[in-house]
C-alpha cells in the first residue's frame, strides 16, 4: 500500500514538472528563434512591465477630470468641563459625512497631464520595439555563425577524408619502399593537422550554439538544435542608400521615440506654466450627526443634515521660485530632447551608411572568394591526382592543398558576412529577417 502511495506521489510530481516544461520545437528555425526571444526575453518583458506601469499612470490621469468622493464615519463620547475638571459623561456621539471636489479650471493642466501620460505609454511601447530589433539582429548573427561552422565542418571533413586516403596509400608505398620516411611522416602530420582544424571548428560550433542558446535564455541542460535552411543564397541586389535612410527615419522606433520625447517635453512645459495660474475648483460636502440622549437616532440624522457647496480659487503668489525653476528646466528639457532626436537621426544615418559600405565590401569579397575557391579546387584536384601517381613531390602538393583550405575559409567567411550584412541593411529598410 505504501509503495502505491509513493508511486502516486512520484507520478503527480512528474506530471507537474512536465506541465511546467515549455513546449520547445525539435529544431529551431531562425524565425522561431526570433519569435521566441521577442516573447520570452527577460529584458524585453521588463520593458513591457514598464509599459504596463505607464498605462496605469494614464488611467489615473484620465480619471483626474472627474470629481473625487470620500466618506467619513466617526464615533465618540461627550466630555464636559466643570469646576472639578474634565469628565466623560458616557454619552455617545456619531458623525457621518462625505466630501467631494473637482477642478474646473487649471490652465489645461489635467488635459496636458493626460496627453503626457499617453505619450509616455507610446514611448514605452517603442522601447519594447527597439529592444526587439536589437535582439533580432543579435540572434541572426549568432544563427548565421552556426550555419557557417556547420558548412565549414563539412568542407573540412572532406579534406580530412582525402588526406586519410593519402595516408593509406602512403603507408602502402612506404612499406613497399617507394616513399621516403620523411614524406610519410609529412602525410601523417598533415592528417593530424586536418584533424586539429576539424576539431577546432567543431569547438567553435559548440561555442556558437551556446551563444545563441544564451541569447534565447534557454535552460542549460536543454539540447538545442537548429534547423538548417535548404540553401543560403547571397543576394547582390542593393537598394539605394538614400531610400533606405528615408525609410528608416520614418519607421525606426528610436526615431519615433525621440519625436515623442520632444512632444512630451513641450507638454511638460505647458503643465509647468499651468502651475503659476489660478486653480478654480468646486467643493462640497454632506454631513450629519447623532448624540445619545437628544432624541431618536434617525430623526437626529435627518434634522442635523448639513450640505454646503461652493467654489474654491487658489492663486499662487510666492513659492520660493519653485514653479519658475520648473518652467525654466522644462525649456531646457525641450532643447535637450531636440538635440537627442537630432543625434538619434544622425547616428541612424551613419549606421545605415556603414551597413551599406559593409554590404558592398562583403559582396565584392564574396565574388573574389568564389572565383578563388573554384580555381583552388580545380588546382587541388589536379595535384591530388598527380600525387597519386607520384608525378609531383609532397611540397608542391602541400602548397596547393593549403591554398585550397584557405580558399574554403575565405569563401565561407565572405558568404556569411555578405548574407548577414544584407539582412541588416534590409532590416533598416523595414523588411523582416528572411533567409529564404
Is residue 316 within 8 A of residue 327, CB to CB? The reply is no
pLDDT of amino acid 74:
87
Residue 117 scores a pLDDT above 60: yes
Residue 407's domain is classified under what CATH number?
1.20.1600.10
pLDDT of amino acid 282:
94
Q: Do 100 and 171 have their domain in common?
A: no
> Smallest Cα–Cα separation from 71: which of 98, 107, 90, 37?
98
Q: Do 304 and 328 have their domain in common?
A: no
pLDDT per residue as tens digits for the range 133-172: 999 999 999 999 999 999 999 999 998 998 898 889 888 8
How many domains is the chain built from?
Answer: 2
Residues 154-175 as b/e (b if ≥16 CB within 10 A, e otherwise) read: ebbeebbebbeebbeebeebbe
Q: Do 285 and 407 have their domain in common?
A: no
DSSP string, 334-364: HHHHHHHHHHHHHHHHHHHHHHHHHHHHHHH
Average pLDDT over residues 386-401: 77
Q: Beta strand 309-314 with 279-291: parallel, antiparallel or unpaired?
A: antiparallel
* Structure-model confidence comparison of residues 302 and 237, the more confident one: 237
Q: Do 116 and 95 have their domain in common?
A: no
Distance between CA atoms of 44 and 28, rounded to whole angstroms?
20
> Smallest Cα–Cα separation from 24: which of 10, 46, 39?
39
Q: Do 162 and 304 have their domain in common?
A: no
| 85 φψ region: left (φ > 0), alpha (ψ -120 to 50), beta (else) | left
Distance between CA atoms of 349 and 254, rounded to whole angstroms?
12
Does 196 reside within a domain? yes
> Smallest Cα–Cα separation from 402: which of 231, 227, 222, 197?
197
Length of the chain: 436
Residue 250 scores a pLDDT above 70: yes
pLDDT per residue as tens digits for the range 195-218: 999 999 999 999 999 999 999 999
Does 17 reside within a domain? no
Distance between CA atoms of 404 and 381, rounded to whole angstroms?
10
Q: Could you identify the residue written with the cell 555563425?
A: 145
pLDDT of amino acid 208:
96
Q: Do 223 and 91 have their domain in common?
A: no
Residue 16 scores a pLDDT above 70: no
Distance between CA atoms of 224 and 210, rounded to whole angstroms?
8
Average pLDDT over residues 122-137: 97
Strand partners, 79: 88
Residue 304 scores a pLDDT above 70: yes
Residue 74 belongs to what domain range?
Answer: 70-105+280-314
Amino acid at each position: 500500500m505504501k509503495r502505491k502511495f509513493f508511486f502516486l506521489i512520484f507520478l503527480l510530481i512528474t506530471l507537474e514538472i512536465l506541465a511546467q516544461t515549455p513546449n520547445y520545437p525539435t529544431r529551431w528555425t531562425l524565425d522561431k528563434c526570433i519569435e521566441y526571444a521577442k516573447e520570452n526575453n527577460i529584458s524585453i518583458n521588463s520593458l513591457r512591465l514598464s509599459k504596463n506601469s505607464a498605462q496605469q499612470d494614464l488611467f489615473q490621469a484620465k480619471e483626474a477630470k472627474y470629481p473625487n468622493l470620500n466618506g467619513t464615519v466617526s464615533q465618540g463620547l461627550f466630555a464636559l468641563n466643570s469646576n472639578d475638571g474634565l469628565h466623560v459623561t458616557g454619552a455617545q456621539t456619531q458623525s457621518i459625512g462625505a466630501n467631494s471636489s473637482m477642478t474646473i479650471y487649471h490652465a489645461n493642466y489635467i488635459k496636458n497631464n493626460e496627453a503626457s501620460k499617453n505619450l509616455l505609454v507610446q514611448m514605452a511601447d517603442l522601447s519594447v520595439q527597439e529592444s526587439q530589433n536589437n535582439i533580432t539582429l543579435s540572434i541572426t548573427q549568432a544563427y548565421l555563425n552556426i550555419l557557417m561552422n556547420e558548412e565549414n565542418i563539412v568542407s573540412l571533413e572532406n579534406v580530412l577524408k582525402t588526406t586519410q586516403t593519402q595516408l593509406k596509400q602512403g603507408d602502402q608505398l612506404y612499406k613497399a619502399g617507394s616513399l621516403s620516411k620523411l614524406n610519410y611522416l609529412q602525410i601523417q602530420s598533415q592528417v593530424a593537422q586536418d584533424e586539429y582544424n576539424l576539431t577546432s571548428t567543431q569547438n567553435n560550433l559548440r561555442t556558437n550554439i551556446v551563444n545563441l542558446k544564451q541569447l534565447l535564455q534557454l535552460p542549460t541542460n536543454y539540447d538545442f538544435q537548429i534547423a538548417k535552411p535548404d540553401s543560403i543564397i547571397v543576394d547582390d541586389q542593393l537598394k539605394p542608400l538614400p531610400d533606405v535612410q528615408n525609410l528608416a527615419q520614418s519607421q525606426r522606433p528610436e526615431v519615433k521615440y525621440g519625436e515623442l520625447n520632444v512632444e512630451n517635453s513641450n507638454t511638460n512645459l505647458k503643465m509647468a506654466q499651468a502651475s503659476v495660474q489660478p486653480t478654480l475648483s468646486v467643493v462640497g460636502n454632506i454631513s450629519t450627526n447623532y448624540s445619545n440622549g437628544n432624541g431618536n437616532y434617525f430623526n437626529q440624522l435627518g434634522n442635523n443634515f448639513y450640505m454646503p457647496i461652493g467654489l474654491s480659487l487658489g492663486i499662487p503668489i510666492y513659492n520660493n521660485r519653485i514653479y519658475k525653476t520648473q518652467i525654466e528646466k522644462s525649456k531646457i528639457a525641450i532643447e535637450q530632447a531636440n538635440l537627442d532626436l537630432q543625434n538619434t537621426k544622425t547616428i541612424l544615418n551613419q549606421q545605415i551608411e556603414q551597413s551599406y559600405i559593409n554590404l558592398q565590401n562583403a559582396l565584392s569579397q564574396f565574388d573574389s572568394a568564389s572565383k578563388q575557391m573554384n580555381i583552388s579546387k580545380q588546382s587541388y584536384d589536379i595535384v591530388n591526382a598527380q600525387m597519386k601517381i607520384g608525378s609531383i613531390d609532397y611540397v608542391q602538393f602541400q602548397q596547393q592543398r593549403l591554398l585550397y583550405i584557405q580558399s574554403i575559409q575565405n569563401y565561407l567567411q565572405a558568404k556569411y558576412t555578405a548574407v548577414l550584412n544584407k539582412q541588416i541593411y534590409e532590416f533598416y529598410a523595414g523588411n523582416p529577417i528572411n533567409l529564404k
